[in-house]
Structure 1
Amino acid sequence: MSLAAETPWPQVVKATPLEQYQLQVLLNSGEQWLIDLKPLIQRRDAYWRLRQDRYFRQVGIDPLGALCWPEGEDLAPESLIRYRSL
């Protein structure tokens, strides 16, 4: 039984933290994206904890396929495309 809920949007199934506030993510569709969160983290005060590399590396995935961190920061899967590096 899968813990992930069925959703109409793509879900992150794996997230690997990289250098410079980047993540390698695998979606339930099989696509792999490189996500660059540096602009978001630098621009939005709500993400101040993510500026600490040790905390940034604690990224997890919630049951709806969103990226999340221990203190409540999260990013919806459908919003990740704007941070995708091509």
Structure 2
Amino acid sequence: MNSAVNTPWVKPVKVVAHKNYHLDVVMEDEREFCLDLSGLINRRQIFWRLKNSHYFKQVNIDPLGGLCWPEGEDISPEKILHYVVT
């Protein structure tokens, strides 16, 4: 998804969910990352729905570049790189 909203930050344009709470993310500058959200999901009660693999796979990109799910869970664009697998 390419967003028509111009922002001063680089946004994701593609996200694919995998098992074990991992996401593959492609940024608009063509960088690619694997994110590990397992710590976040297990640590923060607000993300309890993401423990369901079918729900976790419904990840999308909001117009400002955050990662989001249907019931309102989201990760802001500025936090995405905190979860990169090194």
Q: What is the RMSD computed on CA atoms of the aligned residues?
A: 1.0
**Following TM superposition, where does structure 1 have runs of at least 4 consecutive aligned residues deviating by more than 6 angstroms?**
none
Give 3-state SS (helix, strand or coil) of 1:5's partner: coil
Q: Is 1:10–1:28's contact at 8 Å kept on the other side of the alignment?
A: yes
Q: Please state how far the C-alpha of 1:4 moved relative to its aligned partner.
A: 3.0
What's 2:76 paired with?
A: 76
Matches within 5 A, 1:37-56: 37-56=37-56
Query: Could you list the per-position Cα deviations for residues 35-62 of structure 1 after superposition, in whole angstroms to 9, with x for gaps in the alignment?
Result: 0000000000010000000000000111
2:17 maps to 17
Deviation at 1:19? Answer: 1.1
| Paired residue total | 85
Report the identity percentage.
45
User: Aligned partner of 1:17: which letter?
Assistant: A
State the TM-score, normalizing by the size of structure 1: 0.94
Q: Does 1:32 align with 2:32?
A: yes
1:3 offset after TM fit, Å?
Answer: 3.9
Tell me the distance in 2 between the aligned counterparts of 1:22 and 1:4.
Answer: 27
Superposed CA offset, 1:44-86 (max 9, x none): 0010000000000000111111100000001011101110001
Output the TM-score relative to the length of structure 2. 0.94
